[in-house]
A and B are shown apart, each in its own frame.
Chain A
């Protein structure tokens, strides 16, 4: 039971933040976060932020995926 969506913080008021994904906004509770700033991306589950998304790690993952795609491209061109 774990549907959670990355949303960006637009406004913070005490324990509540207005977050946005693709133009859909909602107020979520951010009491579980250690720190949160406007512009941060957070993972939202059932109206609560359960984690701030680690930008560096996200970039690393995308790099890893790109590398795999590159290997696959090279494999394909080797075969052809």
Chain B
């Protein structure tokens, strides 16, 4: 079975591709194995046999459902690899192995599947992570929305201490590596029913190299987190959690692209709560702030890095925002999803 036969324009996923028989084999060999090819995966066992370095490991899992599957700046495949790599990276770990499970709707186009798989392979290679095991299930038409991907990832710790919010102290400085809300708004404006034409692209990108550079330059870094679902606001709320400090950020310092800001205005959405897929929030000691900022700004994933706030002794357990006009308001966890509103 060659690739062109599999991925001609008409061919679609059928229930047979999930049946475990010849068609399943064709799918695995024709699409997944050919793109993800590496010695561990190529052994094609029921489980991947991997060599584990003698060190601490970070281990993560995540599921990816996104609509539309292809969006400006990426697709569900790129999202799945970046998401896995980033969860490891902000935990201070270098991604080494990952697995990918695909749940595909009957009738899904091969061409689209191959395009997704190819973009996964490209990002995985760029990040130095090997996709060592995978699984495919096909569900009846209507039982899933095109394609869902579940991943797990293993990474090797490059920091000496695990990064937890309890290490954060009063006076520490909060840095972000660039503009917020681009991913969520790119997705939202690409959805039907809103018919908007925007230049917004998802920020979907791997943060492994940035995180490792930063950790090397600032060994006493306290905390890193990627601001995905729930946005920057949620990460900061989680960071204060039950801890004995407060956080204060300055709205005017938070990078926000004009197009994204405009789309947020139009749909009545607060960008602080909008998802990102390539944004890293770092908390570093004040005396390392300059080094940290310079290191981030000299990295391709951090050119627009900014110091956006600091950790405070007062307002314990709370996140305060200095608003555009210099007033203050409280940032709390989001309840439910943000919907376009006209009110």
Contact = CB atoms under 8 A, between A and B. Distances in A.
Interface string B189-213: 1000001111110000000000000
B262 interface: yes
Q: DSSP class of A's interface residues: helix, strand, loop or mixed?
A: strand
Given A3-B268, A5-B265, A5-B266, A23 B342 contact: no
A2 B266 CA distance: 11
B258 interface: yes
Interface string A60-74: 000000000000000
Contact of B198 (A3, A25, A44): A25
Interface in B229-267: 258-259, 261-263, 265-266
B50 interface: no
B196 A25 contact: yes
B179 to A, nearest CB: 13
Contacts of A46: 342
Given A25-B197, A27-B195, A2 B258 contact: no
Among B195, B199, B200, B265, chain A packs the most CB atoms within 10 A around the CB of B265
B266 to A, nearest CB: 5
A21 B167 CA distance: 42
B339 interface: no
B197 A3 contact: no
Nearest to B340: A3
B334 to A, nearest CB: 19
A1 interface: yes
B263 to A, nearest CB: 5
B343 interface: yes
B343 A23 contact: no
Report the 8 A-B pairs with minimum CB-CB distance, sorted nearest first.
Answer: A22-B262, A23-B259, A22-B258, A1-B343, A25-B197, A21-B262, A24-B262, A23-B199
